[in-house]
Structure 1
Amino acid sequence: MKNKLFAEFFGTFWLVFGGCGSAVLAAAFFAQNGETPINMGIAHLGVSFAFGLTVLTMAYAIGHISGCHLNPAVSIGLAVGGRHPWSEVGPYIGSQVVGGLAGAGVLAVIAGGQEGFSFDGGFASNGYGEHSPGGFSMVSCLVAEVVLTFFFLMIILGATDKRAPAGFAPIAIGLGLTLIHLIGIPVTNLSVNPARSTGPAVFVGGWAISQLWLFWLAPIVGAALAGIVYPLISKEES
């Protein structure tokens, strides 16, 4: 169990540091060329792939140790679907949240070394209403997070089914998370992961903390629904 929790800590650290780091450090990066800055930012497409790659790489690195959940919603969804013991859900969530906080903390140290950096820019926090990148309402953001987490868990449950092609689950899951970010970044900055949301929010404070409830509630609801639905549709007919 100790090894599983360490794996979840380091995996979630990597997800937050890599995914949120790409958004904070690289999404709108401008390199100086004399007096004319050159736009070398990776934008939404790059950030989407960064999040997907963090999960893909960690799935191969620690999947055989802890299952590579990296996400409280994933742990809960897998438990609802009968794929993970409920007795381990609490410790897993604790390790994931601490890992997310540590990843955001290291990112804050690095980002703070640039002149003019401020957490007022959002620090890749998730938000709705005026804090949604596209100005989407709370209801829109709630629905988006539930639906996108639902399909993320459906991908995870299907890709890790014993009948699925062996060895390819990390690719499907990583690309699935990439697609989900391509859809959801304009809406909420895309969470589908309470630990990912909590890390940056703690450093931003204020509005990010007050809106954090949605990014715990919606992913857990979406994941739990997938944990119910997938076993129903995956049963082999007699």
Structure 2
Amino acid sequence: MARAKIIEIKDNMSTKDRIILCASEAGGTAILLFLGCMGCVNTLSAGGVVPHEQLSFTFGLAVMVAIQVFGHISGAHINPVVTVAAATLGNIPLLQVPIYFVGQFLGALLGYGLLWIATPDIHLGNAIISGVKQPGVCSPSFNPNISPGEACFVEFILSLILVLFCCGVWDSRNSDKHDSVPLRFGLAVAVLAMAGVSKK
């Protein structure tokens, strides 16, 4: 029988440990953003349309890489909703939540900055724009055939499924099944992206 954890407020980490935690989360988020968006830029640069399968698997595999690299340090939440779920379940102290949020914010900026540097300029008519400014690159939008309320509902359900997936992985009854966690998370994100991708 699994026992509920007590939600802790403080931890016994040093300042150095907290910096490492923040840096780990920043690194994981940067990997997700850079690899996920980079997988779209090359196709769009060639004048093609990114198939939703490619988009979904690129982001799923980017999550897999981020978890494999940083999961043993910070858990590689790379998503604020995962951090909130971890704190709610007592997996991390509440004091660490802002540390995770700051890391995720900095990682998003770092990943996008690296993407900006690495992407080629695109010639559109007489204008030259950066590859990351192309329509559809790292700028998700909801399907125009559904209302904003329906889009929010879909996002809520997909986020809920992600959190439930995390809870299943974190459950102590699954502690002997962690050998393929990065791959499982990557495939979970891929299927969520496939289900939620806008098909215009």
Q: State TM-score, norm by structure 1.
A: 0.67
Query: Which residue is 1:194 aligned to?
Result: none
In structure 2, the residue matched to 1:74 is 82
Q: Which residue among 147, 159, 171 is the counterpart of 1:149?
A: 159
- Equivalent of 2:189 in 166, 169, 177: 177
Indicate the RMSD between aligned Cα atoms, in angstroms: 2.2
Distance 1:61 1:115, change over 3 A: same
What is the CA deviation profile of residues 163-209 of structure 1, one whole-angstrom value per residue up to 9, with x for unaligned ones?
22132222221111000000111179xxxxxxxxxxxxxxxxxxxxx
* Counterparts of 1:170 and 1:122, CA distance in 2: 27
The one-letter code sitting in structure 1 at the alignment partner of 2:21 is: K
The aligned residue for residue 21 of structure 2 is: 4
CA–CA separation in structure 1 for the residues paired with 2:101 and 2:50: 31
Match of 2:40 among 4, 12, 23: 23
Judge conservation of contact 1:44–1:185 (CA < 8 Å) in 2.
yes
Within 5 Å, give how 1:32-47 maps onto structure 2. Answer: 43-47=51-55
For the Cα contact (< 8 Å) 1:13–1:103, is it kept in 2?
Answer: yes
Q: Which residue of 2 is the match for residue 111 of structure 1?
A: 119
Query: CA separation in 2, counterparts of 1:20 and 1:99?
Result: 14
What is the match of residue 107 of structure 2?
99
- For 2:68, give the aligned amino acid: Y
Report the CA distance between 1:107 and its aligned residue: 1.4
User: Any gaps of 5 or more consecutive residues in structure 2?
Assistant: 1-17
Structure 1 pair 106–135 and aligned structure 2 pair: CA distance change class (3 A): farther
How far apart are the structure 1 equivalents of 2:23 and 2:145? Answer: 38
Q: Identity of paired residues, percent?
A: 27
Cα pair 1:78 1:84 within 8 Å, conserved:
yes
CA distance in structure 2 between the aligned counterparts of 1:137 and 1:111, rounded to whole angstroms: 33
**What SS class does the counterpart of residue 114 from structure 1 fall into?**
strand
Runs of 4+ in 1 over 4 A off after TM superposition: none
Superposed CA deviations along residues 38-84 of structure 1, whole A, max 9, x for unmatched, are x6x65110111111111111212111111111111110111112222
Q: Given residue 149 of structure 1, which amino acid in structure 2 is its aligned partner?
A: S
2:66–2:76: 8 Å Cα contact kept in structure 1?
yes
Normalising by structure 2, we get a TM-score of: 0.78
